[in-house]
Amino acid sequence: MSTVFERLQNSLQTTRFGKRIFFAPRIESTNDWARQLAEAGAEEGTVTVAQTQTGGRGRLGRQWISPQGGLWFSIILRPRQEPHDAAKLVFVTGLAVVEALHKKYGLRTETKWPNDVLINSKKVCGILSEMNTKGQTVNYVIVGVGVNANLCVEDDLPESLKTTSTSIMKELSRKIRLGPLLKVLLEEMERIYDYYLKNGFALLLEKWKKHAVFLGRKVTITNHNERLSGLALDVDVKGALILKLEDETTRRILTGDVALIS
């Protein structure tokens, strides 16, 4: 029996993205599943999607809570690029999520460096990209996207996430269909990814920055090693956050989490 996701393959307005969609009701992580398929030679655009994940992964080694009602999927990309360019793909994907949610539901979203999409300062989507290299080139990148689609924030998420998360259902006060959501996301992702491969990153980054509410604000950055506070000045062409510290020096930050200091 085919699912709404597998049936999508025929209606998608894409050339590669989602031409093969693998669905599981329950799996550990769609990123791991996509990686196994990529290792076995699956083509660019192959998608894995699950109703629930038992070991969903977030950035910085965190767990990603993935109950039924969310849209949890991963896509295999094979950009002909050097590994240091792969960081740009989270911005490309983030912008695609912004555009898709606006096109389909009229939602106005914000971007938070490096990989979050928010509505009214609350997280609605996270992106996890994991790369595999061969020598000096990218072999494949798995881009995992988690969208709090029909989550009931109060019931479905742990206490620690309730005040910082939202869902599309909560924002629209109605349930949405996950099939059409995946369709518009894949269409926007392919459109913006192809633009990026052809024209480069600069203009897309400018568009991404238009939604970046944290820019020009005082923030705290936390990562594995340190915690820094300062003014978020910019995101540079390599995707690094430029932070002005209290002693007026600037730092390029490559990884971490941003929190606004209100």
> Which residues of this chain interact with ligand BTN, rule CB under 6 A?
29-31, 53, 56-59, 62, 64, 66, 72-74, 115-116, 126-128, 144-146
Q: CB–CB of 97/145 below 8 Å?
A: yes
Burial class (CB in 10 A: 0-12, 13-18, 19+), 179: middle
In this structure, the number of other CB atoms found within 10 A of the CB of residue 140 comes to 23
Which residue minimizes CB distance to ligand BTN? 126
* Interior/surface letters 204-237, b for 16+ CB within 10 angstroms, e for the rest: bbeebeebbebbeeebebeeeeeeeebbbebbee
Closest approach of Cβ 59 to ligand BTN, in Å?
4
Give the residue with the Cβ less far from ligand BTN, 12 or 50: 50
Give the residue with the Cβ less far from ligand BTN, 56 or 230: 56
Closest approach of Cβ 255 to ligand BTN, in Å?
12
Q: CB–CB of 120/166 below 8 Å?
A: yes
What are the φ and ψ backbone dihedral angles of 3, each rounded to 5 degrees? -100, 170
Closest approach of Cβ 128 to ligand BTN, in Å?
4
Give the residue with the Cβ less far from ligand BTN, 138 or 142: 142
Give the residue with the Cβ less far from ligand BTN, 203 or 260: 260
Distances (CA, A) of 2 to 8, 23, 148, 248: 10, 9, 24, 58
CA-nearest of 131, 143, 116 to 241 is 116
Both structure tokens of 255: 């990884």
Q: Name residue 210's amino acid.
A: K
Give the residue with the Cβ less far from ligand BTN, 79 or 146: 146
Closest approach of Cβ 85 to ligand BTN, in Å?
20
Closest approach of Cβ 120 to ligand BTN, in Å?
17
Closest approach of Cβ 68 to ligand BTN, in Å?
13
Closest approach of Cβ 27 to ligand BTN, in Å?
9
* Distance linking the first and last C-alpha atoms of the chain: 51
Cα–Cα distance for residue pair 145/210, rounded to 1 Å: 21
